[in-house]
A and B are shown apart, each in its own frame.
Chain A
Amino acid sequence: MADTNKRKLIGTSFRRVDAVGKVSGRTQFADDLSFPRMVFMKLLRSPLPHAQIVSIDTSAAERAPGVVGVLTGSDVPVPFGILPVSHDEHALCPDKVRFVGDPVAAVAALTEEQAQAALALVRVEWKQLDTIADYDDALDASKDLIHTYGDDHNFHKKVSLRFGDPEAGFKQADLVLEDTMFFDGNTHLPLEQHATIAVPEGDGRVAVWSSTQTPHYLHKALTKVLGLPAPWIRVIALTNGGGFGGKSDPFNHEIAAAKMALNLGRPVKITLTREEVFQCHRGRHPTLMSIRTGFRKDGSMTAQHLKTLLDGGAYGSYGVASTYYTGALQTVTYNLPHYQFDGARVWTNKPPCGPKRGHGTPQPRFALEVQLDKAAHALGLDPAAMRLKQLQPKDSITANWLRVGSMGLGPCIEAVMRGSKWLERRNAMPPGRGLGIACSSYLSGAGLPINWNHMPHSGVQLKLDRSGGVAVFCGQTEIGQGSDSILAACVAEILGISLQEIRLCVADTDLTPVDLGSYSSRVTLMMGNAAVQAAERAREILARAAAEELKLPGANIVFADGRVFDAADPARGMSFAAAVQAAESRYGTIGTTGSYTPPRAPGRYRGAGVGPSPAYSYSACIVEVDVDPATGIVRVPDVWIAHDVGRALNPTLVAGQVEGSIYMGIGEALMEESAFRRLPEKLSSALVHKFPNMLEYKSPTFLDMPRVHTSIIEEPDANGPFGAKEVGQGPLLPVMPAVSNAIFHALGVRMDQVPIHPWMVFKALEEKRRGGVGRYGPKAFPAVDYGASLDVPTPAEGGDGKARNADDIGVRGGTMSETQRQSQEKPC
């Protein structure tokens, strides 16, 4: 591989390949597409949070003006879901609804207005069931069940893992802190509403164009529900107008549109309203947490026991993974020798939660980082220095068997301390001003695929043209993060050509090799590695042909500036196109492939599949707050953040992801909440979104955005392409705890909950004035029976990655057994 210094694209802020299209409005999003004879579909959604469908009568809707087709649950009876262990959703609910917004019928008409008008003519007779609104309802065993599978009653999933000997660890501690904290739910708020167009292609085939982050998984769900051979279904993901995890599940509207198109033999389009986007949700799980940690006098941790309780909403979605993720990454930042994690997810009659940026990890990260701040205060330590002293070493294995490779958290902490003048300013802040620090880490792609198999997670195929152009085929999806640009740059860099010579063909299940999708911060690392491999293979073929052509057998052939030449004598060479022609003359049409499969993780216990990653990114963040105790308003004038991205393939794109994360983090810290309210009793007492629109769902605007001081830290990881790690999610995580810690520094009150509203600041100040601790947060963690723990010896204890008592515990519930799945899959 060429020396870093000689790289032309990688490491530079080259212009995004989609920049001109985006700024000139030429980029086509799903809702921009139109096909001849296209009709419009709308979904009738449940007005009730939990009810049996007694009967459904669509006859009047079928006769309504313009209506060409109507579907109900019996037309699409096969269940689906993103995780194989929770295929619990239907394109249209066949027998019961589980949240306000669950779809029960689809109507297609010549215009959207006609479809909308016809929905009102569908008559549904309901039998109401208990509304499971919150933890209390979910833990109440006398209430109706939302699903018939799961761990017990309205528990979807319970997990209990013990690594090492936490009790022994607590005995070694000089200080044990126990806190109850709450992280409210919030939603992704992509500017683009989901849209899908299904186009029948004759011969029973159908193409589905959609705003999805995961065309591969949508393809699988369509195949299952439509009952067609997989090759008959083509999924094309359009550039997404923002995803953030909200478009990572296969959705009911996508499947209903495909079924409708096949029935009608004409294209069917559906674009969701903003209200429906809120109903699709899959956002951050509201999570209640109990965290108990032992500390030595120097601030190092001896043990931790973390309990989480996730409010999952109405369906499984990614929930089993989300539950594990609330425990998995507690160990990768600071050395934690003994660790117990108990996690559980309950069903409630609300839109399903799922993977929002950070997926399950921001909540426990908040708890950990706020508690570290409390420990530093109690022990009289500087919270930044205390963190620096107990970093998880690079190239190590954590107590829960995660393999850490490169680890740049130390330089990150030092960078933000320097930038914010932490040591000089922290003890000299004006009234109401405070500085808080927090750190985090995130995956560069999940180590295991969603559908367990041994195949690559990402594939890239190259077609080299005798014109000198290179077509790059890959299933990856551009969701705004810049993955198209990274794909093109990885290939162009290796082949020494410019981005203009690259033609991309992406996210098309008929034409491109599988890439699992734009989730879990996996694309740069996995697609990048596959692209580098494909390009290196092409370079090898071309180099051989060029050496022959130049009559320089064994020469060191270099690819740069659109030329292929002898390293020893750069004048002896040819154009890239000539090299392709030389190769094509000798070997025929030139094409190569590359693929990437993550390394096997060392954990061997049940649950070890969630958490491993080829590489972990690291972030440190210092937030300055300006709090007015008279109004309770918290302003954030400045944020210093340093992110270890391994290697910045494009520093501008990296900084963009960091700044976007800060933006989202400020929203989660101070405003955003998936708040629900019950309708008054006389109106059905249903549980509805507390206003599903962008005005009432408060998220920051330009004026709320702090000055962001970004430092990019590069600790290259051997597993990343050119050393690169992720940046899409990690920098979000430290923002929320850093805000809370800064408020403590400013006012001396603890905010054990986000978002932090002015009235919470008032309450904590009032409590402090009355001589209390001055805290706002949940009072208690409910009694949850997590069951017996899997007992996993740590690497330090000489463990082998397996649980000691796996046989005693066996396979727990929480997931659909094969029989359950089959029974659910039977047509009604």
Chain B
Amino acid sequence: MKNFDWITPATPEAAVQAAAQAGRAFLGGGTDLLPLMKSGLREPTGVVQLKGLTGMERLELTADGITIGASITLAALCTDTLVQRSLPAVFDAARHAATPLVRNRATVGGNLCQRPRCWYFRHPDYACSKKGGDTCYAIEGENKFHAIFDNTTCNIVHPSNLGPAFWAHDAVVVVLGPKGERRIPVAEFWVRPEEDMRTEVALEPGELITSVSCKPLSGRSGSAFEEVNEKQSYDWGLVACAARLTLDGDKASDVRIVIGAVAPVPLRREAAEAVLNGKVPNEAAAWAAADAAIAGATPLRDNAYKVTMLRACVKNAILTAAARARKS
């Protein structure tokens, strides 16, 4: 790791100003930036730390819904009763992430901005397409953890747990940049490799996520986030799904199904939502929706298992969300 300047601004505005200089990077919990620096993938000349910036550690019910400051840690998120009650999918997603040690450091903003775990991307010796090269080594290489959807140009899967959960709660990502504040609906927050190979999120250079606002549950509704892991901590999910639904009588309505860890960005599965909308969300309906969610998968040589696994994961997420809605 190379030496760098350590910059400690007091406000988000000052942080954005400090980061305007070329070669600088934001540091939230540092759980992704530091490994990237250690492996030589990022060599910032200055690191702007985001701890204690005004307003970035709030977690409250506002007119926008529930506003979560970008510097809130995953540990805070998965111990908060408001989040547990109103954004259960977000609560689950934070609780499933990493380990207690990592969750104590890792922040909401960092979780959305973390770079992919693809071992070709992470290895300094591979000039893969994501790093400006002309090849995705995973297409013909070792791809058991790679994408099963949208995987013709770059096979990463997005590692964020919160991404699908936020989307299930119709989140808006609030960012601050040199040109002022922007509010990005979460559906527009993700950038596919075909749009821009070098990034996964719609942040302009120097822009900082300050908060995320989510739509809380209301009426008889429930949400859930499920993931399937080989290891129960210190690992990323092999497949993930966030689901939200409202009960209209005993029928599901306003369904959201968002899958993670299976494509370069989280994917909302509207076809699966359509299958479930208007149906009693029982096991049969959940499997039918899950079938719709996996339709169109294009697995690679080593990851067809993820399709089978995803089907079960989507079914489980729907059933958990439905059970919670019935109890609400």
Contacts and interface: CB of A to CB of B under 8 A. Distances in A.
Interface in B228-245: 228-235, 238
B125 interface: yes
Contacts of A628: 312
A632 interface: yes
Nearest to A758: B305
B228 A696 contact: no
Contacts of B309: 630-632, 758
Given A682-B135, A762-B308, A698 B233 contact: no
A668 to B, nearest CB: 14
B142 A758 contact: no
Given A633-B230, A758-B230, A758-B309, A698 B140 contact: no
Interface in A485-505: none
A691 B119 contact: yes
A671 B141 contact: no
A389 B141 CA distance: 50
A683 B135 CA distance: 11
Contact of A677 (B142, B228, B230, B315): B142
**When A and B form their complex, which 10 residue pairs have the shortest distance between CB atoms, in order from nearest?**
A759-B305, A630-B312, A703-B232, A701-B233, A631-B312, A677-B142, A631-B228, A703-B233, A631-B309, A691-B119
Nearest to A695: B234
A670 interface: yes
Q: Chain B CB within 10 Å — which of A630, A631, A698, A701 has the most?
A: A631
A677 B141 contact: yes
A83 to B, nearest CB: 34
Interface in B212-232: 228-232
Given A680-B140, A682-B135, A690-B142, A670 B230 contact: yes
20 contacts: A630-B309, A631-B309, A632-B305, A633-B228, A633-B229, A677-B141, A680-B141, A683-B125, A690-B119, A695-B234, A696-B119, A698-B231, A701-B233, A703-B232, A704-B231, A704-B232, A704-B233, A757-B230, A758-B238, A759-B304
Contacts of B232: 701, 703-704
Nearest to B144: A759
Nearest to B127: A683
A631 B313 contact: yes
A748 interface: no
B166 to A, nearest CB: 24
A702 interface: yes
B21 interface: no
A241 interface: no
A11 interface: no
Contact of A701 (B125, B141, B228, B231): B231
B33 to A, nearest CB: 16
A700 interface: yes
Given A632-B309, A677-B141, A759-B144, A671 B230 contact: yes
A691 B142 CA distance: 11
Nearest to A633: B228
Interface string A743-761: 0000000000000011100
A683 B234 contact: no
B311 interface: yes
Contacts of B141: 677, 680
B79 interface: no
Contacts of B228: 631, 633, 758
Contacts, number: 65
Interface in A688-740: 690-691, 695-696, 698, 700-704
A218 to B, nearest CB: 31
B135 A701 contact: no
A670 B232 CA distance: 12
A660 B249 CA distance: 53
B230 A630 contact: no
A632 B142 CA distance: 20
Interface of A: 628, 630-633, 670-671, 677, 679-680, 682-683, 690-691, 695-696, 698, 700-704, 757-759, 762
A757 B302 CA distance: 12
A632 B135 contact: no
Nearest to A634: B230
B99 interface: yes
A683 B231 contact: no
B284 to A, nearest CB: 14
A53 B127 CA distance: 26
A628 B312 CA distance: 10
A680 B135 contact: yes
Q: Chain B CB within 10 Å — which of A628, A633, A670 has the most?
A: A633
Nearest to B315: A630
Contacts of B122: 691
Given A690-B142, A703-B233, A759-B144, 11 more contacts: A628-B312, A630-B311, A631-B308, A632-B305, A670-B230, A671-B230, A691-B122, A702-B233, A704-B232, A758-B228, A762-B305
A671 B231 CA distance: 8
Contact of A698 (B123, B126, B235, B315): B235
Nearest to A760: B305
Contacts of B140: 680
A683 B125 CA distance: 9
A279 to B, nearest CB: 15
Nearest to A765: B308
Contacts of A632: 305, 308-309
A275 to B, nearest CB: 10
Interface string B68-85: 000000000000000000
Nearest to B310: A631
Contacts of A701: 99, 231-234
A670 B235 CA distance: 14
A700 B123 CA distance: 24
Nearest to A670: B230
B116 to A, nearest CB: 13
A701 B231 CA distance: 7
Contacts of A677: 141-142
Contacts of A680: 135, 137, 140-141
A761 B99 CA distance: 27
B148 to A, nearest CB: 12
A679 B137 CA distance: 9
Contacts of A696: 119
A683 B126 contact: yes
A698 B228 CA distance: 15
Nearest to B145: A696
A90 to B, nearest CB: 25
A298 to B, nearest CB: 40
Contact of A700 (B126, B231, B315): B231
Nearest to B238: A758
Interface string B98-121: 010000000000000000000100
Contacts of A762: 305, 308
Interface string B253-290: 00000000000000000000000000000000000000
A250 to B, nearest CB: 30
B79 to A, nearest CB: 18
Contacts of B313: 631
Nearest to A667: B231
Contacts of B229: 633
Contacts of A757: 230
Q: Chain B CB within 10 Å — which of A630, A683, A757 has the most?
A: A630
Nearest to B226: A631
A753 to B, nearest CB: 15
A379 to B, nearest CB: 34
A626 to B, nearest CB: 13
A630 B307 CA distance: 11
B99 A698 contact: no
A665 to B, nearest CB: 16
Nearest to B312: A630
Contacts of B304: 759
Contacts of A703: 231-233
Contacts of A698: 230-231, 235
A630 B230 CA distance: 14
Q: Chain A CB within 10 Å — which of B137, B140, B308 has the most?
A: B308
